[in-house]
Amino acid sequence: MTLSGTVPDGDSPYNRFGVSVADEVKLPRLGQGMESGTIVKWLKAEGDQVEKGEPLYELDTDKVTQEVEAEASGVLLKITVAEGEADVGTTIAVIGEQGEDVSSVADETAQRVAETEQEEGAPGAEREPERERGREATASEQTTEIREPAAKPPVRASGPVERVRGNREVPPGSEERHAGNGAGARIKASPLARRIARERGIELGSLKGTGPEGRVVAEDVERAAGTPAQATPTAPAAAPGEIERIPLTTVRRTIARRLTEAWQAPAFQIAMSADMSRAQHLHARLGEQTKEGQARPTVTDILTKACAAALMRHRAVNALWADDAIEQHPSANVGIAVAIEAGLVVPVIHQAERLTIAELAAARADIVTRARDNKLRQDDLDGGTFTISNLGMFGVEQFVAVLNPPQAAILAVGAIEPKAVPIESGFESRPLMTLTLTCDHRSLDGATAAVFLRTVKAFLEEPGLML
């Protein structure tokens, strides 16, 4: 809460000190380690009535884009950060009573944003690694405004909200703003564009931006880097088959960072094949009992139940590596790897050991649907203690999954394939599924992992043991 405004005459909806009270909307910390986020768009405009709990804006973090709800009711008096990246705790808007004066709050926020932007654009290469680590996961094409040191700090004006990803047509007048970038002229560029320009020695002032409001984006710098100085607009088009450079999205940047962390861990793999005859019979029976409108159980749901039950028997596997300790968790929070257009996400089914297979099917269907519709919440992705990655539906017989740090293990599941199994009278065809467990050797030893995987195999071959 913040105090603003002037002392009113007579009785009015102000506090007992006679000063109007407005609520500052601050950028929330949605997950552990989150330092900043990118405002994608506002769902309300200045002057709109807002109710507590109503979706207010879309926020892009390193894991997910989600709607953030208003924490107070009133009128959206001012949007101080219309779009782009902001640090956690930054005041991005103000909600209060109609007619309240919140100019002091807006000016203070604008000044802080301007100072931050000037700091990002000023010389200081020695600070770049430190700043980059702080917002590595969310630094994909966020837009900022920069002035030369002699210019007045910019104040972000309110108005139509633009998406921070993707290029659009240059708004009218942008050419005039970019023409003649002399001393004190404004240069609008994304952080990624500035970084590439520094690395390649390209002068940003010589480029014509194609981003929102004429901002210079990474593609503009890449285009300039690959174009000879004597090239003109009438140069022939690029030949078919030319290499296309695709800037990393926020999700892909996060995947790259986490996979790099995973390869630094000393990992080992073990594999077993499970006879899925009885699990397939259970799957068929569950399908027959599924009512219309309910999620139909899949083999993945049966596998999730088996893993959750096994994790409760072998707590050492249901663990996280914490540098100076190993955290063993009391509940099996099982993550399911889901492929989406933007990359790979791992939403979590919490306390999976307490759910029936039918309940697991409903939970799995819900998180997978929301993942593919880009509607996951931050808490859908947090708290996982074990991960399952299933590529069996693609016909993959066996593969090795990369660890999902800081989890101790991840299970890679292949397709169910008919294979000859030796019996007393000869050979018999059985539906076998290969399970490959990747383990962090800092948290787990081979024998512990083997006993756990043997338990999962037993539960799949005799499902009654886990029910």
Which residues are the active-site residues?
A: 441
Residues in the chain: 467
Instruction: Quickly list H helices, 125-272.
Output: 128-134, 174-178, 191-200, 218-225, 250-263
Among 340, 352, 263, smallest CA distance to 305 is for: 352
* HSE of 222, CA atoms in CB hemisphere, 13 A: 11
Bridge partners of 76?
95
Query: Given the structure tokens 């040191």, which residue do they identify?
Result: 149
Q: At what angle do helices 191-200 and 103-121 cross, to 10 degrees?
A: 20
For residue 355, which of 388, 331, 329 has the smallest C-alpha distance? 331
- Residue 62, CB half-sphere, CA atoms under 13 Å: how many? 21
Structure tokens at 364: 């799995």
Amino acid at 355: L
Name 190's Cβ contacts closer than 8 Å, sequence gap at least 6: 141, 142, 143, 144, 211, 215, 216, 217, 218
C-beta of residue 449 within 8 angstroms of C-beta of residue 456? no
**117 near 148, Cβ under 8 Å?**
no
| Euclidean distance between CA atoms 177 and 458, whole angstroms | 70
One-letter amino acid of 11: D
Over the Cα atoms of the chain, what is R_g?
A: 27
DSSP code at position 407: B
